[in-house]
Structure 1
Amino acid sequence: MKFIFPVIFFLYALSGYAQNVTGKVVDAGTGDLMSGTIVLLIDKSDTTKVNSAYVEEDGVFQFERIKAGTYIFKTLLVGYKITTFEVGIGSENKDLGTIKIAEDLQMQDIVIAEKITRVEQNGDTTNINANAYVTNPDATAEDLVTKMPGITVQNGEVKVNGETVKKVTVDGEEFFGNDALLVLRSLPAEIVGKVQIFDRQTDQAQFTGFDDGNSQKSINIVTKPEKNNGQFGKVYAGYGTNDRYNAGLNLNSFKGKQRISVIGIANNINVQNFSAQDLTSMGASSNRAGPPGGGGSGGGPQGGGGGNSANNFLVGQQSGISTTNSIGLNYSDVWSPKLKVTASYFFNNSTNVNNSIINRQYFLNDTASTIYREDNTSKTQNYNHRISGRLEYMLDSSNSFIYIPSISFQKRNSYQNLLGVNRYITDSLLSTTANNNENRSDNYSISNNLMWRHKFAKKGRTFSANLGSTINVNEVNTTLYSDNFYTDNLVSTRLIDQQGINNTHSYSYRTNIMYTEPISKTGTLQFNYSPTYTKNDANKRVDNYNTSTGEYDSTAIYVSNQLDNYTLTQKGGIGYRYAKGKTNFMVGVDGQNVKLSSTQLFPSTSEIEKQFNNILPSAMLKIKFSDSSNIRLFYRSSTSTPGVNQLQNVIDNSNTLLLSTGNQNLKQEYTNSLFMHYGITSSKKATSSMLFLGINQTNNYIASSSFIATNDTVIENGVTINKGSQLRRPVNLDGYWNVNSFYTYGFPVSKIKSNINLNTGVSYIRTPGTINLITNISNAYALSGGLGISSNISKQVDFNVTYNASYNIVENSIRPQLNNNYFYHLATAKVNIMPYKGLVLSTEVNERLYSGLSTAFNQQFFLWNASIGYKLLKDQSLEVRVSVFDLLNQNRSIARTVTESYVQDTYTTVLTRYFMFTVTYNLKNFKAS
């Protein structure tokens, strides 16, 4: 049943071809195609009834579903005479043939010689004119925006000048929720008229007009008037060698404010669609203390997409190879002048298979430094349903409501076979483990948010209240079978055979109340109060296999625990905003009280109560020097309360060589953040540059404390850590710093009809940790740079050439001989050419280099994808294509992770060479607005 709606939608779109009126418009003198001409059909019996259409780039126009009768045909184009004649239309489709329009000689003296303005700065919004950038006929909005200055797509994230874009809207309205990349991949480039980049304020801040600096980088796609009414999209299917397949659809219906979209995929080439919320726990999670700037991490693209790009719908770099079946629906409309509605539904079913090799080197202050190697084979099956919505209701001119519900259900089964080996740095064997794990989980999440906003008669005086709740339930059944060897001669062995549950329930209720009061023409006060109550329950019970009874009936005390955690947060404060002319200034301070209560119910009973009091200042300064340059400075302070899993004092033995546990004595983190943005744009020169600087400093940073046992060691509760194993737990340490700077400059080069984007950045991360009770400071530096050249030649020639490199320096205080410098670069060239009629040639080459990693991980390889296609039918809407992925059969996936206690290199499974034959149908059925 779930496929019926897309099929009906597609058939409905095709049904528009009945009783159509078509034709072509050319220049009477030169024969050139006159795209952009407006053509009209005026009902002769009632001249108030006017049908309009737009002449496309191929010179063709089309009127749809025209009733039989007599009409007056007209052409309208500046600089050309009006052509008009009478048309009789019956019950059949009618072709008006080629219509020639002549220049208006009276207008020859009028010369319009103005360069298309590419970039404009309007206050805090950067406007980029899409008409100044040329793409292939079937390009997506993603292909278009990545030609623009400062916009990139990296590892499934859309970024502007290095900042992650959190939301992409279409004509100011919600479209596919918060999945920015999905929006860009769902829209064709040809409907985009303008791209607006801005910092999106919260709903409360937009209403009150009090800019508190809490904004998200956002993009708004402004559609062309002649392209925002009709149906468009594509359907594709492909099959290849090694039984590889890929099929999908992307169908959209735009009618005024109503937007309906259907997307779907089915493939086994690692195209993992939709957002990360649909892929919970899939692939390796990133470490907060990873390499600055992302240097040294990455790998080749994991698979090809449908239609015209090898990476359509790819979201992020996921480990291993996935088979995915997904479908998504999005609906948005204005039901009345008072009510706006947006809703979306996603279903994702994926099976991920991954083989990985990990090489990890630990920092120790003696000759017992160790090297850990892990060979891991895993399989994960994931089923996810996600429903979200947004309703905006304007009760009257003074009161409005916003309601945002969200619900998701997930079922996940994972299986893991792991072989881990610990060796001394001298290469003598220390310990080994062979683990088999199975986890079966069911979870759901329900979130509701309701906001009431009220305006008083006095301008600037407002009141708003925001009520929210979140419920998260995760229930997991676990099994573990592990053979372990701990001595050099492999005499000492230990067998673990366990089953258990690991359930966590979380409930959160929050309120945010704000009142603004203008105290002058330039100044406004804001008062806020935000109480939050959170309850977390964690229950982990593990039973050992009893050989005498043949049952799992003996509780493993050291890995079992039940903890209830309660947090009550009271936060309130005052802020002052000054706005005059080109200056906008805000300063504020909040007082916060957090009461944390933890009750342990098993294996023993105990209670811990903590209270944290903090002063949280904030400030913001915006100065607009001119229409083309501005600077923004933000300072924020914040706290982070440890989660229930960090507080739960229970050992996780899913890898018996790498044990972990929580810490009930953790304190809150306190972070100071400073950000600076300085941007300059030149409309005349079509250049854009931006400098970004971010500094984060954290007190009571929740770091990692590692104990690596060089001998069998008994720790608290009588638990023995065997020689060659390690135990990690979170602890509070001061001294965490994260400094990141980024500069980008974009400009056109008319001689080669291309746009060039340059970027460079320097970053530094200082991460404290302890190893065997000795404090280690990991300092990670990175210097990065990049160059991008994108063509702006014609629709028949499109190319993108990019080069990005990162040089990374890793230093640690307790073992300087393990300091490491490593280098990573990625060079990419993408070329799409249409040399003759419907012939389409495409190729993409990636060259990757890793240097300075572990010996086995230093690699240089090429990933070469290529395809040849041909467009069929009169409107070239049908395309057949033969493509090859990884032509040289060299694809790799390598990543480096740096923490305060080790440096790790990871090698994971990727797709290798396959050929595929794909058929794509592109639907373009636009009506003039």
Structure 2
Amino acid sequence: MRKLLLLALLWPCMSVLYAQTPNRFQIQGITADTSSTPLGSATVMLLQRKDSSLVNFTRTNDKGAFAMRNVKRGDYLLKISYVGYIPFQQDIVFGDKEIVDLGTLKLKAITKELFEVVIKTARAPLSIKGDTIEYNAASFKVPPGSTVEDLLRKLPGVQVDQNGNIIAQGQQVQKVTVDGKRFFGSDPKMATQNLPADAITKVQIFNDKTEQSKVTGVDDGKQEKTVNLELKEGFKKGGFGKLTAGLGADGNGNAGPRGEIKGNYNKFDDKNQFSVIGLTNNTNQTGMSWDDYQDFRGSSSFNSWNDNGDFGFGGGGGRFIIIGGDDDGGLSIPVGGGNGRGYSNNIAGGINYNYNTKKIKTNASYYYNSTRQVLDAVRNRENFLQNGSFKTEEESSQINFIGNHRLAFRHEQTLDSLNTFIFTNNSRYNVGDTRLNSLQEFFRNNNLKSNETTINNATNVDKIETANTLIYRLKFKKNKGRSFAASASYNFTNNDGIADQKSLNLFYNATDPTDVLRRMLDLTNNTGSRVSQLKSSLLFVEPFAKRFFWESFVNLSYRSDNVDRDVFDLAKDNGRRTPVDSLSSFYKNNYNYARIGSSVRYSYKGLNFSGGLAVQSFQIDGKFALGQNPASFININRRFTTWIPNASLNYDLKNNRYLWSGYDVSVSQPSTRDLQPVIDNSNPLIIRQGNPDLLPTVNHNINFGYNMFNPASFMNVNVNMYYSYNVNQVVYNQQVDATTLITVTKPVNITGGQNIGSYIGFGFPIKKTKASMNINFNPGFSKNLTPINGVLNQTNTDSYRFGTRLDLTPSDNFTIFANANWSVSNTRYSINTGQNQQIVNHSYGGTMNIRLPKDFFINSNLNYQIYKNERFGFNQQVPILNTSIYKILGKAKKAEIRLSIYDVFNRNLGVSQFANQNYVSQERIQTLARYGMLSFTYNMRGMNTNIKRRGGFF
């Protein structure tokens, strides 16, 4: 009782004393050199004394002053770094006052005598030098066995989404290099997802110059956000890598066991980099990057890093002359239903080698990947007409195989400080086949069945492509800024394919359902396509007056296309191959393209303005004929001449603030297939016609952007706005028979299609090194025009996307990365306003990591997708939760054993919905769902080779 009474009497006094001892402090001071000159933009960091982990950081202002607010009482070390000065560090002692004033802190300049002191000084967690941020990887803890991607997630100012895309300082990272060298081409994920985090000593993030700037030697003000990974010296003395093997069971009891094997091996030194990667699995993990996907589509993603030799506006004349696709008679490698959908078996592997010296930079890589994919899909589509609509319901089963060999080689030879040669070769060999069984039913507006089609198709495609470019650069010694560049390229594509088309088509009488017209289709289509192209470009840059540069360029190109399509009917004459001349065709086209242009550039103190004009001429000299052995040909001779204006403004406002805007014009020529006045009725429900009177499409583009990054607070703002307007856009006129629902399409030119939109992003730390928030808003508006049954339908779509991301890294034992995205689009049709609709797509996701005692870890990943369209009663919710628990084994912590469960709720389903032009569609694809897997991983580190060095790499 006495103790309680004494405590009650002393409590007010204790409360007063406690109130006088603050728990939160402000640390402030001034940085200067030994002559008391203020050091502005110095990096100031507050570190935990026990492990040097980063607690807070800031930069000094122009007067050398800094302040850190809301700092908890603790055992801290203050560290200050400035280029050319010995890093300064001092213990922080807290007193009774809320403000800890350190006064003037003087840094000593580095001299030869003091260099050894600098080496012995503890490295700072990060340093900021202009627009470059350098992170000390050792200061950001990740579990043993983590990849570079895991390390990047821990860095302040860096975000990595669930697809592996990297955002740094509010901008998309376009390149990732290893010790300044390429790693498997231009895909950033190849390095971040395959290299181990413990191999990295520094992560540098900076704005690199564009290839156009490097060619001319004149800064164009444009930048490419780049991440460079600097390896530890210990990892350059021996090989390192990772090997994982796993075996599991399908939770639904079908398709047999699940398994995977994947690994990589790397051996680097100062001049050489050698890497091998590989994987095989039946868990839908294709390992296919966006570049690979584009290659399957036949795109020119060959020109990685923009050294394609097409000089001119924007660093690539190819941007302004786009030869329409589908010129191979409709053959293409089947891509399937998209990465991660359906059921797939996958194999991938590759080798990458770099050799770099002062005068020689060589990169060579080979990559192979194949996917066998099974897709069972249900699709619904409604097409809108002026006085109603018709619906399509489809159930299909499809098996695709894709095999892709990719070979890339780049050699840069610097003869001296003025002359440079670059040679690049990019080659592809693709094989693919698809088997499709489908039942399609068509219903009139009164829900009565109109048509029914049973399809059994098969396609085999064999394609080889190669692109070779030689570039020569010359800088003049006597006149700084004067430069000359020349390039020559040869590209070749050979595409051969066989397509078997079998279908039974039933047409129901609108008034008498028992009256059915049967039409059997059994065709074989043999198509061979050859494309060869020769290109050459010249560029000359001449400085004049002061801060002005005159740039002139010439682009020349000759392309030859040959397509031979032979179609046989197997249904007419007891299965014999009967030639079908109405569907067979042969055509040969020669394209001559020339573009000459000039621009004036002003460049001074971060301000870059360029304005120019070019004229381009495009000539088609071709012939085509129907039948397999044509006796007569029809010639197509067309010439198009277009003026191409261009203007750009790039302004470095200093202090990591950038402003840019531009206007350009792109021209797309009609495809050869669209120009042919040929009727293609190989699909009896969709008949295609060509149009020899098509004009080129001219697209006007305007954009504006602003980016700001504050290295003291790590706050970033990113604003981008764009507008495009189409003149003579090629669209497909549709004539739909109201009785049979047979659609006849014909390409025509229409002016008026347009897109306008913007992106606004804002990122800021809630608590530095512990929590950060990113918010973005992306509104967009589009207008598309399509003639339908003689009436011009205008489809207007307003879309609004809002997203947010929260990164929480409160300790080394717990991290969570959460995101949410909301998307709403309103589509309106002028010909049938009753079909206007709203499509809603929402997603919620997150990744959580927990470290338990005894080196146990828990990892969980959630991806919750919601798809809604109330107009058609579509409401699909797909919550996907993957979780695993793993333990690090051994004293060296090189091994890991992991138990994983994928799709815990057993809800995985491939879902998509789309609205455009005059239709809306939904798709559901059966996809690999819940399964469990037990895997073992071994990390190879510091493996020394016993092979003697004989002047080579090993």
Corresponding residue of 1:183: 191
CA shift for structure 1 position 164: 6.3
Pairing 1:420–2:440 present: yes
CA shift for structure 1 position 364: 0.7
Corresponding residue of 1:808: 825
CA 499–114 in structure 1, closer or farther in 2 if over 3 Å, else same: closer
Tell me how far apart the structure 1 counterparts of residues 652 and 337 of structure 2 sit (CA, whole Å): 36
Tell me how far apart the structure 2 counterparts of residues 156 and 657 of structure 1 sit (CA, whole Å): 42
Instruction: After TM superposition, list the pairs within 5 Å mapping 1:683-698 onto structure 2.
Output: 683-698=711-726
Residues 156, 316 of structure 1: 8 Å contact kept: no
Corresponding residue of 2:43: none
Tell me how far apart the structure 1 counterparts of residues 680 and 189 of structure 2 sit (CA, whole Å): 36
Instruction: After TM superposition, list the pairs within 5 Å mapping 1:88-107 onto structure 2.
Output: none
Corresponding residue of 2:624: 600
Deviates more, 1:673-682 or 1:269-278: 269-278
Corresponding residue of 1:349: 370
CA shift for structure 1 position 864: 1.2
Which of residues 284, 294, 298 is equivalent to 1:270? 284
Residues 560, 650 of structure 1: 8 Å contact kept: no
Corresponding residue of 2:734: 706
Which of residues 659, 662, 665 is equivalent to 1:631? 659
Corresponding residue of 2:541: 516
Residues 141, 192 of structure 1: 8 Å contact kept: no
Tell me how far apart the structure 1 counterparts of residues 837 and 52 of structure 2 sit (CA, whole Å): 62
Residues 411, 441 of structure 1: 8 Å contact kept: yes
TM-score in terms of structure 1 length: 0.79
Which of residues 578, 583, 595 is equivalent to 2:607? 583
Corresponding residue of 1:332: 354
Tell me how far apart the structure 2 counterparts of residues 31 and 920 of structure 1 sit (CA, whole Å): 34
> Alignment partner of 1:182: what SS?
helix
Residues 593, 618 of structure 2: 8 Å contact kept: yes
Corresponding residue of 2:560: 535
> Alignment partner of 1:627: what SS?
coil
Corresponding residue of 1:258: 272
Tell me how far apart the structure 2 counterparts of residues 415 and 620 of structure 1 sit (CA, whole Å): 49
Residues 769, 777 of structure 1: 8 Å contact kept: yes
Q: Which amino acid aligns with 1:758?
A: I
Residues 179, 231 of structure 2: 8 Å contact kept: no
CA shift for structure 1 position 119: 7.1
Corresponding residue of 1:310: none
CA 507–176 in structure 1, closer or farther in 2 if over 3 Å, else same: same
CA shift for structure 1 position 227: 6.6
CA shift for structure 1 position 760: 1.3
Q: Which amino acid aligns with 1:643?
A: S
Residues 53, 125 of structure 2: 8 Å contact kept: no
CA shift for structure 1 position 401: 0.4
Which of residues 489, 511, 536 is equivalent to 1:468? 489
CA 596–359 in structure 1, closer or farther in 2 if over 3 Å, else same: same
Q: Which amino acid aligns with 2:348?
A: S
Tell me how far apart the structure 1 counterparts of residues 267 and 213 of structure 2 sit (CA, whole Å): 32
Residues 706, 772 of structure 1: 8 Å contact kept: yes
Q: Which string of whole-angstrom CA distances, capped at 9 and with x for unpartnered residues, describes residues 65-96 of structure 1?
A: xxxxxxxxxxxx9999xxxxxxxxxxxxxxxx
Deviates more, 1:723-732 or 1:399-408: 723-732
Residues 326, 349 of structure 1: 8 Å contact kept: yes
Corresponding residue of 1:320: 342
Q: Which amino acid aligns with 1:492?
A: L
CA shift for structure 1 position 427: 0.9
Q: Which amino acid aligns with 2:835?
A: L
Q: Which runs of 5+ in 2 are unaligned?
A: 1-47, 55-86, 91-120, 251-256, 300-335, 945-954
CA shift for structure 1 position 317: 3.5
CA shift for structure 1 position 133: 5.8
Tell me how far apart the structure 2 counterparts of residues 579 and 141 of structure 1 sit (CA, whole Å): 37
Corresponding residue of 2:875: 858
CA 657–258 in structure 1, closer or farther in 2 if over 3 Å, else same: same
CA shift for structure 1 position 878: 0.6
Tell me how far apart the structure 1 counterparts of residues 615 and 729 of structure 2 sit (CA, whole Å): 21
CA shift for structure 1 position 900: 1.2
Corresponding residue of 1:766: 783
Q: Which amino acid aligns with 1:272?
A: T
- How many equivalent pairs are there? 782
Instruction: After TM superposition, list the pairs within 5 Å mapping 1:540-619 onto structure 2.
Output: 540-545=565-570, 547-548=572-573, 550-555=575-580, 557-603=581-627, 605-619=633-647
Residues 118, 686 of structure 1: 8 Å contact kept: no
Tell me how far apart the structure 1 counterparts of residues 258 and 350 of structure 2 sit (CA, whole Å): 23
Instruction: After TM superposition, list the pairs within 5 Å mapping 1:711-790 onto structure 2.
Output: 711=739, 723-750=740-767, 753-790=770-807
Tell me how far apart the structure 2 counterparts of residues 252 and 813 of structure 1 sit (CA, whole Å): 59
Residues 732, 747 of structure 2: 8 Å contact kept: yes
CA 161–749 in structure 1, closer or farther in 2 if over 3 Å, else same: closer
Corresponding residue of 1:207: 215
Pairing 1:392–2:399 present: no
Residues 117, 683 of structure 1: 8 Å contact kept: no
Deviates more, 1:378-387 or 1:747-756: 747-756
Deviates more, 1:578-587 or 1:474-483: 578-587
Residues 419, 473 of structure 2: 8 Å contact kept: yes
Instruction: After TM superposition, list the pairs within 5 Å mapping 1:435-446 onto structure 2.
Output: 435-446=455-466
CA shift for structure 1 position 165: 5.2
CA 338–443 in structure 1, closer or farther in 2 if over 3 Å, else same: same
Corresponding residue of 2:81: none
Tell me how far apart the structure 1 counterparts of residues 269 and 766 of structure 2 sit (CA, whole Å): 39
CA 648–134 in structure 1, closer or farther in 2 if over 3 Å, else same: farther
Deviates more, 1:545-554 or 1:533-542: 545-554
CA 539–665 in structure 1, closer or farther in 2 if over 3 Å, else same: farther
Residues 797, 826 of structure 2: 8 Å contact kept: yes
Deviates more, 1:129-138 or 1:261-270: 129-138
CA shift for structure 1 position 738: 2.0
Instruction: After TM superposition, list the pairs within 5 Å mapping 1:226-265 onto structure 2.
Output: 226=233, 229=236, 230-242=238-250, 243-265=257-279
Instruction: After TM superposition, list the pairs within 5 Å mapping 1:294-313 onto structure 2.
Output: none
CA shift for structure 1 position 192: 6.1
Q: Which string of whole-angstrom CA distances, capped at 9 and with x for unpartnered residues, describes residues 287-346 of structure 1?
A: xxxxxxxxxxxxxxxxxxxxxxxxxxx997354221011111111111x43211101001
CA 444–392 in structure 1, closer or farther in 2 if over 3 Å, else same: same
Which of residues 917, 924, 928 is equivalent to 1:900? 917
TM-score in terms of structure 2 length: 0.77
> Alignment partner of 2:582: what SS?
helix
Residues 664, 700 of structure 2: 8 Å contact kept: yes
Tell me how far apart the structure 2 counterparts of residues 241 and 169 of structure 1 sit (CA, whole Å): 38
CA 471–126 in structure 1, closer or farther in 2 if over 3 Å, else same: farther
CA 316–438 in structure 1, closer or farther in 2 if over 3 Å, else same: closer
Instruction: After TM superposition, list the pairs within 5 Å mapping 1:132-147 onto structure 2.
Output: 135-145=142-152
| CA root-mean-square deviation | 3.2
Q: Which runs of 5+ in 1 are unaligned?
A: 1-29, 37-76, 81-111, 286-313, 712-722
Q: Which amino acid aligns with 1:672?
A: H
CA shift for structure 1 position 126: 7.4
Q: Which amino acid aligns with 1:533?
A: Y
Corresponding residue of 1:380: 400
Residues 233, 251 of structure 1: 8 Å contact kept: yes
% identical equivalent positions: 26
Which of residues 930, 935, 951 is equivalent to 1:913? 930
Tell me how far apart the structure 2 counterparts of residues 502 and 702 of structure 1 sit (CA, whole Å): 25
Corresponding residue of 2:27: none
Q: Which string of whole-angstrom CA distances, capped at 9 and with x for unpartnered residues, describes residues 357-386 of structure 1?
A: 22111121013x111122121111122211
CA shift for structure 1 position 348: 1.4
Tell me how far apart the structure 2 counterparts of residues 882 and 572 of structure 1 sit (CA, whole Å): 62
Residues 788, 803 of structure 1: 8 Å contact kept: yes
Tell me how far apart the structure 2 counterparts of residues 642 and 165 of structure 1 sit (CA, whole Å): 34
Q: Which amino acid aligns with 1:421?
A: E
Pairing 1:830–2:847 present: yes
> Alignment partner of 2:246: what SS?
strand
Q: Which string of whole-angstrom CA distances, capped at 9 and with x for unpartnered residues, describes residues 15-36 of structure 1?
A: xxxxxxxxxxxxxxx9967999
CA 699–833 in structure 1, closer or farther in 2 if over 3 Å, else same: same
Tell me how far apart the structure 1 counterparts of residues 197 and 243 of structure 2 sit (CA, whole Å): 17
CA shift for structure 1 position 137: 3.8
